[in-house]
Structure 1
Amino acid sequence: MLPAQNRMTRSTEFGATVSRGTRAGQPDLVVYCLRSDHTEDTGPRIGLVVSKAVGNAVARHQVSRRLRHVARAVLPELGPADRVVIRALPGSRRAISPRLEQELRTALQRIRTRNGASS
């Protein structure tokens, strides 16, 4: 489970991250990352988007749980002002957690490379 201070909850935050953030696609995920302008933030925030295209409610909840677990593993690698939205694609329903984690790490590395950040 993601700690409360690291959860993205406002739709405006989701919208800004998706529309203005850098995008990196993977076979089972699409990751958007945006560095926030707010300096009072206590840490990175992560949001999940798991649509009905992934499957029924049970499948979507399973994917959400896996993604929250995977996202928690990459929290130490994110900067305090980072905003990340992870959008699950239909293939994520059949993907195992280590594969999802590897795809998330690869996407974040691509975004860092594009943005010229070394961390």
Structure 2
Amino acid sequence: MLPRYQRITRSGEFSAVLRGGRGVSRRAGGPLVVVHRRDFEATESSEPTRSPRVGFVVSKAVGNSVVRHRVTRQLRALMASRMESLPAGAGIVVRAQPDAASADFGHLSTELDRCLDKVAGE
């Protein structure tokens, strides 16, 4: 489970990461997930340590409630183990694609790593 200070919970923060706004915004996607990244400035961050924060978007296109929650739990577990490697002040939103519902944990992990590497390297 991610602590509250590492989660994006407000709609304004989701919008800022997904739609860009001020600052540098990056996006990388594949058949299973799309990863959006935006680096927040110190004034925009609610946490004084500016730790990286992550949010998840899993729409009804992925599946019913049971499937959506399973995909969210898998993505949350994958991101929890990767939080230390993210830069301070980074806002990450992971958006699941419909094919994520039928993907196994290993493929989801590989795809997430590939997308995270892309948004970090740009």
User: What is the TM-score of this pair, normalised by structure 1?
Assistant: 0.90
CA displacement at 1:41 relative to structure 2: 4.1
Aligned residue in 1 for 2:112: 104
Match of 1:90 among 74, 98, 107: 98
Aligned residue in 1 for 2:33: 29
Measure, in 2, the Cα distance between the counterparts of 1:25 and 1:46: 16
1:7 aligns with 2:7: yes
Measure, in 1, the Cα distance between the counterparts of 2:18 and 2:28: 11
Q: Would you say the 8 A contact 2:63–2:101 is kept in 1?
A: yes
Q: How many residue pairs get matched? A: 114
What whole-Å deviation, never above 9, does each CA across 1:68-104 have from its counterpart, x for those lacking one?
0011011011011000000000000011222212211
CA displacement at 1:3 relative to structure 2: 1.7
Aligned residue in 2 for 1:16: 16
Q: Would you say the 8 A contact 2:42–2:50 is kept in 1?
A: no
1:73 aligns with 2:81: yes
Which blocks of at least 5 consecutive residues in structure 2 are unaligned?
none
Q: What code does the residue aligned with 2:114 have?
A: T
List, as ranges, runs of 4+ consecutive aligned residues in structure 1 with deviation greater than 6 Å.
Answer: none
Measure, in 1, the Cα distance between the counterparts of 2:16 and 2:50: 19
The alignment yields a C-alpha RMSD, in angstroms, of 1.2
Further displaced range: 104-113 or 42-51: 104-113
CA displacement at 1:35 relative to structure 2: 0.6
Q: Would you say the 8 A contact 1:5–1:42 is kept in 2?
A: no
CA displacement at 1:42 relative to structure 2: 3.7
